Structure 1
Amino acid sequence: MARPLVADIDLKALRHNYRVASELAPTSANMAVIKADAYGHGAANCARALAEAGAPAFGVASLEEAIALRDAGISQPILLLEGIFDAGELARVEMLDLWQVVHSDWQLEALLAYRPARPLTVWLKLDSGMHRLGFTPEAFVVRWERLAAAGTQVATEGLHLISHFASADQARSVQFAAQWSTIEQVRDRLGCRICVANSPATLARPATHAAWNRPGVMLYGSNPLDGALPVGVSLDPVMTLRSRLIAVQTLEADEPVGYGGRFRTAGPSRIGIVAAGYGDGYDRHAVDGTPVLVDGVRAPLAGRVSMDMLTVDISHLPAAKVGSEVVLWGRSSTGSVLSVDEVATHCDTIGYTLLTGVLPRVPRRFLE
C-alpha cells in the first residue's frame, strides 16, 4: 500500500482561474506563467490544460524549462523570462522557436552577433524601479533603437517592452505609482507594445493591462494581493495536498508532543499523526495552531513538523481515526477549503513558497 500523501492537481480549477484572468483583461493576450514546474503543479500537464483554455503563450525561467515543454508537445510560443544565460543557448532558442527577454548588454551583444536563419522574437526589459533586471529608461531607449534596426536578428513586429512591478499587490504603493509612471513615459516615447501586468496587477490594476499580461500564481488559486480579491472574483485552489492519519495517540494533560516538546497537551488529548513532513516540502516553520482539515474539519498543528510526519490535535474530533483524510491545503472531499495562503501566514512565508516547495517524492495526481 502506498504512502497516502499525494498532491491532487485540479485541472478544471486551473482552467477556471485562467478564464478569470482573461475576463479581467479581455483586450489583452494573457501569457500563462508556468515556471518552476508550474509553481510545483506539473508544467507539462498544466500547459496542456491551459492551452485548452486558450492560453496563447507560456512564460518560463530557463531554456531547460522550455525544452521540457517542447518535449511534451507544447507548440505555443514560450518566453524565456530571464533570457539566455549563455550565448551558446541562442542556437537552441532558434531551433525551438522560443521568445526571449533581453535584460543585459551581454545578451544584447550576443544576439546582435548571432546569425539566425530567421529573425528572433525579443522582449526588452525595462528597469522601471524594482532594480533587479533590465535597463534604465534612457539606456532602454538606446537599446530599443538598436534592436529595432536589427532586422536580420530581431523580428521587429514582435518587439515588446517588459517590466516587473515590485508592489502591485499593495493597494496604496508609492513605488507602484512611480514604476507605472516610468513605464508610461517610455511606452509613450517609443510607441511600443508592453507587457507589465503580473498576477496582482491583472487582478487589481486594470490600467496596466496591455497587449500582453502574464498572470502567474493566481492561475493556481493563490491570492497575491495584500487584501481580499476584488468583489466578484473567485479563484479555485488547484493543488490539494492530501494525506491521512496513520496513528492516533491518547495522552493525559501536560504531555509533550514531537521534537523538543514544543507542544504540551493542555488536558486529556487525542493527537493524530499525519503522513507528511518537511521531507515532502511541508514547511518546518509552521507554528502550533497552523490549521489542517481532518475529515473536512479544522484541526491545529500540535508540535514541530518532522521529516516524514506531523502531529495535530484532534481532541475535538471524536470520530477521527486512522485512515481519516487530512488536507494540508486545498479542498477536502467534503468540500471544505483551506487556502494555501492562510497556511503560509502561519509559516511566516507566502503561498508561492509552499506550492513550489512540494518535493518530487510527493506524487502528483491530475484530476478533471
Structure 2
Amino acid sequence: MNTTIMLFLLQDGITNGAIYALLGLALVLVFAVTRVILIPQGEFVTYGALTYASLAAGQMPGTAKLAFAMGLVAFAFDLYAARKSLHWQRIARAFALNVVFPGLVLAATVWAAGQRPPAGINLVLALLIVAAIGLSLYRVVFQPLAHTSVLVLLIASVGCHLALQGLGLLFFGAEGQRGPTLLNASAVLGPLRFTGQGMAVYGITIAFIVALWLFFGLTLYGKALRATAVNRLGARLVGIRTTLSGQIAFLLAATIGALSGILIVPITTLYYDSGFLIGLKGFVAAIIGGLVSYPLTAVAALLVGIVEAFSSFYASNFKEVIVFTLLIPVLVLRSLAAPAVEEEKD
C-alpha cells in the first residue's frame, strides 16, 4: 500500500464514518430519553433514501400514505386515552400533529410526484414523511410501553423493524435505487478528489452535530431532553412532560436517519433492506460510546468507518466481521469495569 491508496481509504472511511456518527448520535439520544434500543433506525435510513429517489424519478412513494395511515391510528390512540376527560385543546393539538400534518405532507407529495420539482424540495418532503412516521411510531408502539422493561421495549423494537422492512419491500420493490446528487461541484487537494456529494456529507454532518449541541445547550426543549435522559422520574416530578420528550427524541432520530439515507443514496445503490446493516454500524459506534456519550460515539463512528475502509482493501470478504469484532474488546472491558451484582435468590 502506498501513501495515495492510504489517503483514498482514509477519505472513504471518514465519509462513511460521518454517516455512522449521525446514526450513532440518534441511537444514543433515543436510548437515553426513552430506554428504547431503536432497531428501526435502519428503516428510517432506507425510507428517507428511497423516498427521495422515488420522488426524483417522478414516482409516488408509499411512505407518504403510510405516514398518513399511522397518523390516523395515533390520533385514534389519543382519542381513546382522552375518553374519560375530554380536553379539547389537547385533542385539537393531537389532530393537528397526527392528521393535519401528515395529510398536508401527503398532498404535497402527490403534487411533487407528478411535477418532478428540484432536489431540494424532494429532500424536504422525504424528511417530513419519515419524521411523521417516526412520531406516529412512538405514539402507537412505544408510548404505551414507556414504563415496561428494556427487554420488552427491545422486543417491540425488533417487531417494528421487521414490519417496516416488509413494508419497504412492498413500497419500493426488491430492485435497488439511486438518487440525484445534492451538490455537483468538486475540488482537488493533492491526489484526493472531493466530490460535491462527499462535501455535502461532511458539511451537513458537522452542521447537524453543531445544531444538536446548540439545541441541547441553549433551548428549553433540549434541556428538558437532557433532564429526562438523566432521571426520567425526577424530570416528571419537576413538571417535564416525558411523553413530549419521547416524541422529540423519535422525531430527531427519524429526521437524522432519513437525512443519512439521502446523503448515501447518490453514492451507492440502496435496497429496501440496506438500512439494517448501515444502522448496525451506527449501533456499534453507540455501543463503544456506552449509549451515553455523544462525543465518544462520534469518534467511535469515525473509527468504524476507517476500519471498514481498510478492511475492504485488505480482506473485503470479512470486512463486516472485522467491523463487528470491534465490539468484543469494548464489551470485555466494560464487563470487567462494571461493579459486581449478586443475583437475586428465589
TM-score, length basis structure 2: 0.22
Q: What's the TM-score, normalizing by structure 1?
A: 0.21
Greater C-alpha radius of gyration: 1
Structure (1/2) with the larger strand percentage:
1
